[in-house]
Amino acid sequence: MWWQIGLGAAALAFIALTGFAIRFLHAAQQTLARSEAVLQQAQEQWNGTMQESQRFLRQSMAHMEEMRAKIREFDRLLAAVQETGDAAYRVSRSVKAVSRTVEETLEEARRAVHNRREAVSELMEFTAAGMQLWQRWQSWRQSKPKGMADDREPTERSERSQS
């Protein structure tokens, strides 16, 4: 009978163990189901994140292409500015050379005017002296009597009388 009691206890233990195993397997199955749901949700989030990342990457690539195009345009603008600066430099050099030439020409003209001023001054003195002589001669001609046949100038007459 001991063996029957042992066999009954073993059967009860087996039934209890089977019950706990069934509960354990049921809990494991629920945990696996929750894990699967969480993994499914994580997979969906991962897919959403990946799609968003791909969209962001495409937008970034588009922005980079825009930036490259703008940089190329800016490079062309800088090249044009450089050419303009070079042209302005050449114009500045030309203006400087023209200015120097004009300055030298004006200096030569000033010197020439100064030299000519002296000549004009002398000419004016000679002209004034000539005008005085001419006026004296005219007044002498008008003051001389009509019967006088000598048309010589007063200076010539005075020289003759002195000799």
Domain parsing of the chain, residue ranges: 64-126
Confidence of residue 163 (pLDDT cuts 50, 70, 90): very low
Structure tokens at 148: 């006088």
Which pTM does this prediction carry? 0.41
pLDDT at position 125, please? 87
- What's residue 2's pLDDT? 80
96/99 Cα distance (integer angstroms): 5
**Range name among 28-42, 60-74, 135-149 with the lowest pLDDT average:** 135-149
State the Cα–Cα distance between residues 92 and 99, nearest whole angstrom.
Answer: 10
What mean pLDDT do residues 24-43 have? Answer: 93
Q: Can you read off the two tokens belonging to residue 40?
A: 């499914």
Q: Tell me how far the alpha carbon of residue 125 is from its chain's centroid.
A: 63
* pLDDT for res 106: 86
Alpha helices in the chain (DSSP H): 2-143, 154-162
For the chain, give the mean pLDDT: 86
Q: What is the pLDDT of residue 7?
A: 87
How many C-beta neighbours within 10 Å does residue 161 have? 7
Would the pLDDT of 17 be above 80? yes
Residue 58: is its pLDDT beyond 50?
Answer: yes
Scan for tokens 């000799």, then name that residue.
163
